[in-house]
Each structure stands twice: as C-alpha cells, then as structure tokens.
C-alpha cells in the first residue's frame, strides 16, 4: 500500500500468525487482512465496500470459528474465493509452509517455489 495503489488481490485470514505464515510463502505482493478471529457486521460491510472489484480470497482455520467466519463471508461476499487448508492442520498458522504454498498456488497465487519443492523431497 506504500504508493497508494490498491493491489488487485486480497487474502483475508483470522490472525496475525496466519498473516505471517501466508506472507512468508508469497512471491507476489498481496494485501493480507486480519479479522482477528471475529468480525462485526459493520466492519464486514466496510470491507465489502473497500474490496469491491478486487480478487478476494478467504483463508481461515479449519475449526468452528473459522467456519463461522467463512459463512459470514459467503453471505456478504459471495464472489470471494474460498481456500481451504487440510483439516488435519486445523489452523493456518500451524499448517506447514509447503501446504499453504500449495493451497495458494491452486488459486493461481504466485508463491515462492522452494516451498512447493519442499513437498517433492
């Protein structure tokens, strides 16, 4: 956001540890927004307006609070793409970097290939 230009893609995650994990595998410059676990309807409405005409990806934990958040986004932002981590990891922050990279890559998001290659070894 340095130059005031809006980035086309936005990834919405729950917490700052999720944000750090996602940012660590990204190759392209993508805005990452934290909901901090929950989001008020007012904040969600602001986000809907703010993110209008941008590619929005929802990447939340595979747990009850993540699913609740996902339902909210499906209702308020039906055009957003939903990305899912494997349930066995439960949390985005605790999923291995190669798994996050693979999930992002499947959505045509540019990631650092060394994370994808880790899986091949």
The confidence score (pLDDT) of residue 1 equals: 37
**44 within some domain:** yes
Distances (CA, A) of 117 to 61, 103, 107: 24, 14, 17
- Is 91 inside a domain boundary? yes
Q: Is residue 4 part of a domain?
A: no
Looking at every residue in the chain, the average pLDDT score rounds to: 91
- Residue 37's pLDDT is 73
What CATH number has the domain bearing residue 54? Answer: 3.40.1360.10
pTM of the model: 0.91
pLDDT tier, 40 (very low <50, low <70, confident <90, very high otherwise): confident
Range list of β-strands (E), 1-121: 9-13, 31-34, 55-59, 81-83
What is the chain's length?
A: 121
Find how far residue 80's CA is from the centre of its chain. Answer: 11
Domain limits for position 36? 9-120
Residue 39 lies in a domain: yes
Residue 72 covered by a domain:
yes
pLDDT given at position 2: 42
| Tally of domains in the chain | 1
């Amino acid at each position: 956001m340095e130059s005031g230009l809006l980035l086309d893609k936005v990834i919405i995650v729950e917490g700052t540890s999720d944000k750090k994990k996602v940012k660590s595998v990204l190759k392209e410059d993508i805005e990452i927004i934290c909901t901090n676990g929950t989001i008020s309807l007012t904040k969600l409405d602001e986000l809907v307006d703010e993110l209008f005409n941008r590619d929005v990806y929802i990447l939340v934990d595979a747990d009850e609070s993540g699913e609740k958040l996902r339902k909210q986004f499906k209702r308020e932002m039906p055009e957003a793409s939903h990305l899912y981590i494997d349930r066995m990891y439960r949390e985005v922050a605790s999923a291995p970097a190669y798994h996050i990279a693979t999930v992002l890559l499947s959505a045509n998001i540019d990631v650092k290939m060394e994370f994808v290659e880790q899986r091949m070894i």
